[in-house]
Amino acid sequence: MTDEEMKSYRGLKKSLVYRSHFKRGETEPQLPKPPSEALRASLPTDVDWRKSGIITNVKNQGQCGSCWAFGATEGIESMWAQYSKKLTVLSEQNILDCTPNPHHCGGTGGCGGATYELAYDKVKEIGLATEQAYPYISGSGRNYPCKTNVPYFANITGYVNLAANQQDPTLDALANVGPLVVSVEAIHWMGYRSGVFDGCNQKNPDLDHAVQLVGYGTDSKYGDFWLIRNSWGSSWGESGYIRIKRETTPRCGIDLHPEDGNGCDDGPPTITVCGTCGILYDNVYPVYKP
């Protein structure tokens, strides 16, 4: 496939990611702070939330730019499983159909792309149905109207945005809270089969995909890695997962075109993103406090 064709397999609207940071009153995110040796000594050497029974099977978004809805749904599935002690497959289509793009930053939401912050704001308002009650049908790239006559199963009361470009809060949250939803540059992932990947454009990463970060560890041959669940089906990568390089001191790069393809004119002209494939820029987890 061409790069243009592959855009439909991603679907993160970067302008909205940036907007979520500026909405919280943040200026340019800081470069990574030196690692806290005390914190890292207190953390486990490896984390894999698949072993805890709170990760559903790998899914496939198809030719719809719905990664943002998949990442958001997967985050809620894991959080709700921790809360309810039961793992339930939830509905990406519910989020895809019912989450508008109020800022009109290019696209129309749905298969046209959005962010998990928008999804979480909407779920907080209306709840989220199960996959069985509201199945995924947009794999061909078609959008559908929102169904309002379905029973809602799960909910959130909010979500936490970790400090941008900071590795220690990401490690701490992964070890002590649960999986995270993150934004990455994934255009170079298509040929990945196995191993620890380090093939992104670290000088000028271009965030374009939302995924679930489910752990970290160390490979005896390839070194430290982040463990990521993708939404391109279980036949891709390592049974639907990819391990990407994790550094003690993360590299940073400049996203030169945050405005590309989205029509927003109130965002920054460039943005600093850190970590392999920009993984540390926009990390989020949902919360539910009854």
Catalytic residues: 67, 209, 230
Q: How far apart, in whole angstroms, are the C-alpha atoms of residue 82 and residue 84?
A: 6
- Which candidate, 273, 210, 254, 268, places its Cα nearest to that of 65? 210
Q: Which residue has the tokens 């620890």?
A: 196
At residue 115, the 3 state secondary structure works out as coil
Q: 266-290: buried (b, 16+ CB within 10 Å) or exposed (e) per residue?
A: ebeeebbbbbbbbbbbbbbbbebee
- Which candidate, 2, 217, 23, places its Cα nearest to that of 118? 23
Q: 16-28: buried (b, 16+ CB within 10 Å) or exposed (e) per residue?
A: bbbbbbeeeeeee
Task: Give the DSSP letter of residue 191.
Answer: T
Structural tokens at position 107: 């696209």
- Count helices and strands (H / E) in the chain: 7, 10
Report CA-CA distances (Å) from 9 to 37, 45, 246. Answer: 39, 33, 24
Report CA-CA distances (Å) from 172 to 18, 30, 120, 176, 243. Answer: 23, 18, 22, 6, 19
140 contacts 40 by C-beta, under 8 angstroms: no
